[in-house]
Amino acid sequence: MINREKIEAATTLMLEGMGEDCNREGLVETPKRIAKMYEELFSGMDITPEKYLSKTFKSEGTEMVVEKDIVFYSMCEHHFMPFYGKVHIAYIPDGKVVGLSKLARTVEVFARRPQIQEQMTGQIADALMEYLAPKGAVVMITAEHLCMTMRGVKKPGSQTVTIARRGEFVQDNQQLEMFFTMVKS
């Protein structure tokens, strides 16, 4: 649960630490705006993926289901700077499927937390395996990290790509190749 009062107080301290006058017109409401923004940006902290992945439908099909180009925005837990990009998800059903919007909502659960991309990739794959019990799941994330582009090494446009494979996607390279082909198309 987000504590707005603590965030407002911390924001005021940060602004003062930067030498700003918190009473000047442009900053008077800034601590409140930041607290409200953090409530939205970190809304995934109070939600579990079960909320979205527990409602399933029977399916006799066992062919791969792919949802690609799911846009996300998250905050790096190391610098509290944004990283953003696209998530590509595939799973091989084993008697049940989930509504496609629920895959995007599952991404949001994990993206809306202080996070690192490597961990988020695995969390999404693990949630699919736990709640859908598919034959396999694969998650690939491509993202740009502002902690690398705005500060530090300053390399805008650089992309970080992570992948998490579970079940048949670990054992069956043909399934994995089909996933890559579908993501590229």
User: Any idea which residues carry the catalytic annotation?
Assistant: 76-79, 117, 145, 147
CA 162 from chain centre, in angstroms, equals 12
H, E, C per residue of 104-164: HHHHHHHHCCEECHHHHHHHHHHHHHHHHCCCEEEEEEEEEEHHHHCCCCCCCCCCEEEEE
d(CA 5, CA 181): 49
Distances (CA, A) of 22 to 12, 17, 18, 33, 36: 7, 11, 10, 13, 17
d(CA 80, CA 15): 16
State the number of CA atoms in the 13 A half-sphere of 162 facing the CB.
19
